[in-house]
Structure 1
Amino acid sequence: MTTLRNLAHVRTGDKGDTCQFSVIVHEARHYELLEKYLTPERVGQHFVEFAHGRIRRFEMAQLGALVFVLEQALRSGVTRSLSLDAHGKCLGMTLLSIDIPDDGATSPHRTG
């Protein structure tokens, strides 16, 4: 088991009550592992307190990225929320703590 932060980094954005995460792998060989285990359902479980709407995932294999769009996730929007931690950047950092099963692809000694 490893954490997402060991395999990828996250870029975020927010607009109104919608939050977007771009999860970009550090190494191309980890993309399939994330594609398998980082599902919209798993992201929804991780953000059960914040994500109250639909969660969509878009695959960008050529970039080694998964993009997640979380609707109704920012407590009525960034400018209306009194909760500083519920904004995209903070949620993106929290996303990196998700555990990802080790299918052998995360070994630092493996090449390819």
Structure 2
Amino acid sequence: MKLREIAHSRTGDKGNISNISLIAFEETDYELLKDKVTAAVVKDWFQDIVAGEVIRYELPNLKAFNFVLYGALGGGVTKSLAQDMHGKSLSSKLLDLDI
């Protein structure tokens, strides 16, 4: 199943760091996401663009996670030649992950 079937996501950025939230639609899916969508899985999923580490923060009261991807924006908004310099489409890419 694709993540988009049980969760939604938003993306933010600061410099060369992308911040991706993952929020379960249903509270019952939070534990599944916790088990299946680890920092290592996200790092591997974004291996072509993430040069640094990926840290996952758990927000169980919100049934959500926050992933911080270091070195993910090609040097940052003012340095990147990427079409999506802010990385706003990264949330859509994350939701395309099969779990």
TM-score range, shorter chain: over 0.9
Letter matched to residue 19 of structure 1: S
Q: How does 1:1-20 map to 2 (within 5 A)?
A: 2-20=1-19
Runs of 5+ unmatched residues, structure 2: none
Runs of 4+ in 1 over 2 A off after TM superposition: 85-88
- Is 1:49 the counterpart of 2:73? The answer is no
Runs of 5+ unmatched residues, structure 1: 101-112
Computing the radius of gyration from Cα coordinates, the structure with the larger value is: 1
Q: CA RMSD in A?
A: 1.0
Q: Distance in 1 between matches of 2:26 and 2:85?
A: 29
What TM-score does the superposition give when structure 1 sets the normalisation length? 0.84
C-alpha contact (below 8 Å) 1:50/1:86 kept by paired residues: no
Which has the larger displacement, 16-25 or 77-86? 77-86
Percent identity of paired positions between Structure 1 and Structure 2: 44
Cα displacement (A) at 1:81: 1.0
Aligned length: 99
Letter matched to residue 47 of structure 2: V
When residues 86 and 42 of structure 1 are mapped into structure 2, their CA distance, relative to the original with a 3 A threshold, is: farther
Secondary structure of the corresponding residue to residue 45 of structure 1: helix
Cα displacement (A) at 1:76: 0.4
C-alpha contact (below 8 Å) 2:52/2:70 kept by paired residues: yes
